[in-house]
Amino acid sequence: MLMLNDEALRTHLAKLPAARPFTTAMARAEGVPVQVLAALVAQGLLRRPVRSVYLPVDVPDTLAYRLAALELMVPPGCFVTDHTAAWLHAGDIALLPNAHLSEAKPDIFRHSRHRALRHPLVRSGERMLQPDHLLSMGNIEVTTPIRTACDIGRLYSRDVALWGLDSMLGLDVFDLDELNGFVPYLARQRGVVQLRVLSPLADGGAQSFGESALRLRWHDAGLPRPRCQVPVVRGGRAVFYLDMGHEDLGLAAEYDGEEWHTGAVAEARDDARRESLRREEGWWIEVFRRSDVFGHAQEADLRLKATYALLSRRRAAA
């Protein structure tokens, strides 16, 4: 990583477009090398939603700007799919953690009757789909939200696949029955077996990749389907929302991501909220961090299974 002081970084930043997306090539034309762009991203002065396309951090995450960014990358005869399509439909919430720091290439494909796009800056291939699985947005074509959900759901690891399904379902442009009814259109295509398993588990209430992964651990533990974003109502209004929970049993699980749940102030706030929920409403809350969900294959599953069994025995004995 190139090390520059703040003054040098801001001098380079002033050379770049202040209110519109731009590419690595456009930056290079203004005398800003790619190493400086990487340093500006690391310092939080630029964001990179897809590889080789940059936005100033104060540019709003709107459909217009997302389209403007992708129009710089998508050649004629191609369409946007997979994670890039999810980002276009849903915005930054659909991105995986630290995606702006990654080297992930935009997903730009061609129809199966054409050869894959040969371009070092994009992830490409041939994709077989029906005409109504695409829609036009601005000057580009993109897979529909439901097709985007199913492609991510069948072609990526289980955690990523479920988050793709959740984030697209959360747009409220199709429901779970429609999602499950769409799966047969992809019969005999790669990954459809995984999709058949995961699509019934999708829930648009998930608020992050970590929550989706934790809910998959809940499922793997054999627990009944949880409710996402369980409201805690006091005085006639919802004062808290639990990431997921089994309301009859009083069991909840929460994923504490590093961005919002790290540091003494955040941890004290979380502890006070959870103690209040235990004392006032009787919730048993299992709290998980990244290492619990992703670091050990079965740690979260086993904790959830053990707690569910304990609470079930208590209820049976009451």
Asked if pLDDT for residue 260 goes beyond 60, the answer is no
pLDDT computed for residue 261 by the predictor: 60
Which of the two residues, 147 and 107, has the higher pLDDT score?
147
Specify the length of the chain in residues: 318
Which of the two residues, 69 and 228, has the higher pLDDT score?
228
Helical residues (DSSP H) of the chain, grouped into ranges: 6-13, 24-29, 34-42, 63-71, 82-90, 145-155, 158-169, 176-182, 192-198, 209-220, 258-261, 264-281, 290, 299-317
- Contact, 308 vs 251, CB < 8 A? yes
- Contact, 22 vs 54, CB < 8 A? yes
pTM: 0.84
Element (H, E) at 226: none
Instruction: Give per-residue pLDDT as tens, 273-313.
Output: 999 999 999 999 999 999 899 976 678 999 999 999 999 99
DSSP string over 135-204 = EEETTEEEE-HHHHHHHHHHHS-HHHHHHHHHHHHTTSSS-HHHHHHHGGGGTTSTTHHHHHHHGGG--T
Asked if pLDDT for residue 244 goes beyond 60, the answer is yes
CA distance 288 to 306: 15
pLDDT computed for residue 128 by the predictor: 87
Architecture, CATH, for domain 210-317:
3-Layer(aba) Sandwich (3.40)
DSSP 295: I
For the chain, the domains span 60-203, 210-317
pLDDT class of 230 with cuts at 50, 70, 90 = very high
Asked if pLDDT for residue 21 goes beyond 60, the answer is yes
- Mean pLDDT to the nearest integer, 63-73: 86
pLDDT computed for residue 19 by the predictor: 84
Which of the two residues, 169 and 108, has the higher pLDDT score?
169
Asked if pLDDT for residue 259 goes beyond 70, the answer is no
Q: To the nearest 10°, the Cα dihedral for 146, 79, 160, 1?
A: -150
pLDDT class of 63 with cuts at 50, 70, 90 = confident
Count of beta carbons in the 10 Å neighbourhood of residue 100: 20
Mean pLDDT of the chain: 89
